[in-house]
Structure 1
Amino acid sequence: MFTIGCHLSSAKGYLKMAKDAVSIDGNTFQFFTRNPRGGKAKAIDPADVAAFHEYANEHGITTFLAHAPYTMNPAAAKPETRQFAIELLTDDLMRMENTPGQLYNMHPGCHVGQGTEKGIELIADALNQVMTPDQTTTVLLETMAGKGSEVGGRFEELAAIIERVDQADKMGVCLDTCHVWEGGYDIVGNLDGVLEEFDRIVGLDRLRAIHLNDSKNPLAAHKDRHEAIGEGHIGFEALAAVTNHPALRDLPFFLETPQDNLDGWAAEIAALRAAHQEG
């Protein structure tokens, strides 16, 4: 089954997000766990969670992706910033257990002048402080565009973090098409080669979700600017090929394209569904 959805507002709860997803022919969705710039998370309503589970079962929604806020930086040089990230991670992973067995995505972090190796060490240490053997949530590290001091712009960096995490069996990767393209991985001209490299370095078994986005910038721009499907430098055909690739086609796909309303995402989902080949 082709699983595709978009990034929705969590302001009105899980049930509303599920209904919004279904209204645009989606069967999954993504949301921020709290304000993307940080702050306190909205309290979880058990009645909303129960209603969501009932509705999701009726409409074939089995997976969703929760996204950590952008301000969370477990690789920070400042102790207070790093401690904030650890506290936020702890709270988010506890909250995720209200909906067991789901996916939690995070930008690995920025080393802010400490160097990539130090950043990798700090990110893994933070994850070791917060992840537990009994958690049901899979934590995903997102592939990054490699701007500034971002960690995760190369597959080797993601692999190095995962190798240092005690609960590595609960770790995975979310591949962002815009990010890897701007990071220098040619998914337009050599998708097979990029996936072979990912498999050799990280392992395709670690790949659990795809952020499907076009890019405003050319290959290796290292800027992280998303574009609507088919309107950027990656293009519709290459993105449709991502959804049809045998190694990727059964993963959940999440649109983070710059749309002003649900209608824009509905059009993108319809076009991608028409180009998707079940098999």
Structure 2
Amino acid sequence: MKVGAHVSISGSRVSSDEETPPYSDIRNAVHRQLAFGGNCGQVFTTSPQVWAQPEIGEDAAEGFQEATDEKLEGPWVIHSAYLVNLCTPKEDLRRKSKESMQAELDAAERLDIPYVNVHLGAHTGAGVEGGLDNAAGVIDDLDVPEDVTILIESDAGSGTKLGGEFEHLAGIIDRTETDIGICIDTAHTLVAGNDLTTPEAVDETIGRFDDEVGLEYLEYLHLNDSKHDVGTHKDEHAHIGEGYIGEDGMKAIVNHPDLRALPFALETPTEDGRGFAWNIQKVKELREE
């Protein structure tokens, strides 16, 4: 089973005996993933809240690759900055989004990471069709390395944000000339209006995704429970099995024949004395051999 967490690359230590550099370094991600019990996962290469370029030295890149090959199953995925908005009609934001995405794609190639994950963003008045056209334009302007794939993440769907409906995900695939994939976030999918609370509901939702988008495009899952119910469009993650998806829904997801071979990256909270280690272990307990 490929399961891990979205881990920090900072030098702060998970445990007193963890041998990580005392500063931000991509190699820290491997040490931290191991400490949580994961074998794949997700990272930010820089702060997601600002426009910043990844700063990854040659030694750090080589060390990350070597440690990943030796100690993890993989694959990693890079999550793009939160500021990126592919759907925007604003030229300045479009330019910054493109530059940020290109930097992440180049970092992925350097680190031998196969995926860069991004939200479509908000159309802010351009409309659904206009927003999807804008997003496709940005994607097709990028120089995507041969061994890197852009993943469009499903969204909670609040306001003018796109990606909450399967139709939006199909729409961007149809519009772009670039080979892209999809990352489904289970919490986002639930609050966007798709039931995942029972085995029957999971089957139905996955069936609709296959009909509208195509399971062949699904490459990664963000495995998160939700603090809010179906159709609320509120994005707040919960511990695995303790939110509105619940244990029955989560068990159905991680064991579903169309999903179980995919990598799962957790973005669950650290609260109530529990964090990634507890949630990864919970997922492993839900998995059936």
TM-score normalized by the length of structure 2: 0.90
Say if 2:147 is the partner of 1:136.
Answer: yes
Aligned to 1:185: 194
Aligned to 1:69: 81
Pair 36,228 (structure 1): closer, same or farther in 2 beyond 3 Å: same
Pair 173,31 (structure 1): closer, same or farther in 2 beyond 3 Å: same
Deviations 1:108-154 (A, max 9, x none): 1100111111000000000000044x531111000111100011111
Aligned to 2:15: none
In 1, distance between residues paired with 2:43 and 2:68?
16
Please provide the CA RMSD for this pair. 1.7
In 2, distance between residues paired with 1:191 and 1:31?
28
In 2, distance between residues paired with 1:235 and 1:121?
36
Q: Please, which runs of 5 or more residues in structure 1 have no aligned partner?
A: none
Letter in 2 for 1:205: E
Aligned to 1:207: 218
Aligned to 1:233: 244
Say if 2:280 is the partner of 1:269.
Answer: yes
Report the 3-state secondary structure (helix = DSSP H, G, I; strand = E; otherwise coil) of the residue aligned with 1:14. Answer: coil
In 2, distance between residues paired with 1:48 and 1:263?
30
Contact 1:35 1:41 in 2 (8 A): no
Contact 2:2 2:74 in 1 (8 A): no
Pair 262,252 (structure 1): closer, same or farther in 2 beyond 3 Å: farther
Aligned to 2:256: 245
Alignment of 1:151-170 (within 5 A): 151-168=162-179
Contact 1:28 1:63 in 2 (8 A): yes
Contact 2:78 2:104 in 1 (8 A): no
In 2, distance between residues paired with 1:42 and 1:83?
17
Say if 2:112 is the partner of 1:103.
Answer: no
Contact 1:8 1:29 in 2 (8 A): yes
Q: Please, which runs of 5 or more residues in structure 2 have no aligned partner?
A: 11-23
Alignment of 1:9-88 (within 5 A): 9-11=8-10, 12-88=24-100
In 1, distance between residues paired with 2:129 and 2:273?
41
1:194 is displaced (CA, Å) by: 0.7
Report the 3-state secondary structure (helix = DSSP H, G, I; strand = E; otherwise coil) of the residue aligned with 2:5. Answer: strand
In 1, distance between residues paired with 2:211 and 2:229?
25
Report the 3-state secondary structure (helix = DSSP H, G, I; strand = E; otherwise coil) of the residue aligned with 1:141. Answer: strand
Of all paired residues, the percent bearing the same amino acid is 34
Pair 45,138 (structure 1): closer, same or farther in 2 beyond 3 Å: same
1:10 is displaced (CA, Å) by: 2.3
1:101 is displaced (CA, Å) by: 5.0
Letter in 1 for 2:221: I
In 2, distance between residues paired with 1:73 and 1:262?
34
Contact 2:65 2:112 in 1 (8 A): no
